[in-house]
Chains A and B, each alone.
Chain A
Amino acid sequence: MTLDRRYPSVDLDEPVGAVELTLGEDEPRASIRLPARESGVAVARQFVAGMGAVLHVGDQTCEDLKLAATEACTNVVLHAYPNGEPGPVELEMGFGQDDVVRLVVRDSGTGPPASIDFDDETEGGYGLELMHAVSDEIEVEGAPGSGTEVRMAFAAGRASAEDAHDPLHSPVLRRVVAMMGAHAGFTMDRLSDAVLVAETLAAHTSAHTVDGVVRVVVEDTDDAVELRVGPLVTGGAEGLLADSRLPAYGGVLEHLADAVETETGEDATEYLRVRLALRR
C-alpha cells in the first residue's frame, strides 16, 4: 500500500522570498504581500495572528482568522498561478467601520472558478467549507485573468478604545520576523535576537517615516534574514538608530545585527537595512 504523493516535501531551505509589511499608524490596519509559495503560508498566518493580538480579538476569533487566512492563501498557492513563477498574495486586515474584523486575501492570478459551492465536500472542497464556517461573512470576487479577492468578516467585538489598537505593531512584526527566522534555520538564541530587533524597529520606526505608516520588507536568503525599513524622512535612519540606543548598553540594532546600513531612496528618503545572519 502506498499513499499517492500529493504534496511536495518542501525543502526547508526553500526561501519564503521578500515579504512586504505595511503597518498603519492612525488606523489599526495592516497588510502583507508575499510570493504565493507553500513556504509563505505560515508567514501569512503569523501576520494574521499578530494582527489578532494588536486588535485584541480574543483566542477563538484569532484561531478562526488563522484558519481562514491559511485556507485562502493555500488556494492562491495551489490555483492562482498555474504556470511558472508564483505571483503575489496580499492580505489586509483591520477593523471595518462597523467594528467587525475584516480580512481580505487577494491575488493577481487566473481568477476564481466559474461557480463556488461552499458545501462542496469533495477533495479540495474542505477549504471553502471551513472558511465559510469560521467567518461571519464571505465574498469571493474576481474575473478570469485578473485575480481573485476573498473578503471575510468576523464579528469580534472591539475591545475598549484604549487597548483596541497597539500602535507599535510589535506583535505583527515580531511574529513575521520570527517565522522567517525559523524558516531560515535560526537557533533559539538567534531567534530571540531577531525578535528583539523586530520589537526595537516596531517601537521606534513610526516617528521617522514620512506618513507614520511603517513599511518593512523582510527577506530570507540562504544564510540570513534581512529587514529593509522605510521610506524614512531625511535623517530618519540615524534618528531611528539613536532612539533605539539604551543607556549603558548602546545600540540594540548595531549590537544584534551583522550589518546595519543606511540607503538613500527617491526624494531624499532613506531606508535602514538590518541584516541578521544565520550564525554570528
Chain B
Amino acid sequence: MTLLTLDIENGDRAVRLALKGELDISSAGRVEEQLGKLQDGDPELFVLDLRELEFMDSTGLRLIVRADEAAREQGTRFVIVRGPEPVQRVFEIVGLDSRLDMADEPPAL
C-alpha cells in the first residue's frame, strides 16, 4: 500500500503520467523525479492525468506549475487531464485552471 501510485504510458514522442491516490509533500518527490525523467526525453506532448487523483495540495500545485514552465521552455505541449472536484477546486482557488492547458479526456498519444 502506498499513498500515491504513478502509472506511465509511452507513445510516439508523447508521454502520459497518471497519478492515483494522494499528492502531498510526502509523495511529491517521486512525482518530481518522474516528471524530470519523462521531460528529459523531450516529448512533443506530455499528459498529466489527474482523473484518479483523490487529493492534491499546494505542494502539488507548485510542482505542476514548475513542470508546465519547464515544458513551455522546451516546446513540449503540457496537458492536464482534469481530476475530481476536490483536486479541481485547488486549481480554481488560485486561478490556475484557466492558465493551464486542461482537458476532460486524455488526448491520443
Contact = CB atoms under 8 A, between A and B. Distances in A.
Interface of A: 1-10, 12, 38-39, 41-42, 45, 63, 66-67, 70-71, 74, 77-78, 121, 123-124, 126-127, 129-130, 133-134, 181-183, 185-188, 191
B32 A127 contact: no
Contact of B30 (A9, A41, A187): A9
Contacts, number: 103
A7 B2 contact: no
A10 B22 CA distance: 14
A38 B62 contact: no
Given A39-B26, A191-B1, A1 B93 contact: no
5 contacts: A9-B32, A38-B25, A41-B26, A70-B55, A191-B1
A7 B55 CA distance: 18
A35 B33 CA distance: 25
Interface string B34-71: 01100110100000000000010111011100110010
B39 A7 contact: no
A3 B36 contact: yes
B91 to A, nearest CB: 10
B55 A66 contact: yes
A1 B2 contact: no
Contact of B32 (A7, A71, A77): A7
Q: Is the interface of A mostly helix, strand, loop or mixed?
A: helix
Nearest to A39: B26
B33 A9 contact: yes
Given A38-B26, A41-B25, A126-B58, A3 B35 contact: yes
B57 to A, nearest CB: 5
Given A123-B62, A130-B90, A183-B3, 9 more contacts: A1-B73, A38-B26, A42-B26, A67-B90, A70-B57, A71-B57, A74-B24, A126-B62, A130-B58
Residue in B57, B61, B70, B89 whose Cβ sees the most chain A Cβ within 10 Å: B57
Contacts of B29: 5, 7-10
B25 A71 contact: no
Contacts of B107: none
Contacts of B66: 3-4, 6
Nearest 5 pairs of A and B residues by beta carbon: A9-B29, A126-B58, A182-B1, A7-B29, A3-B36
A126 B35 CA distance: 21
Contact of A1 (B25, B39, B63, B86): B39
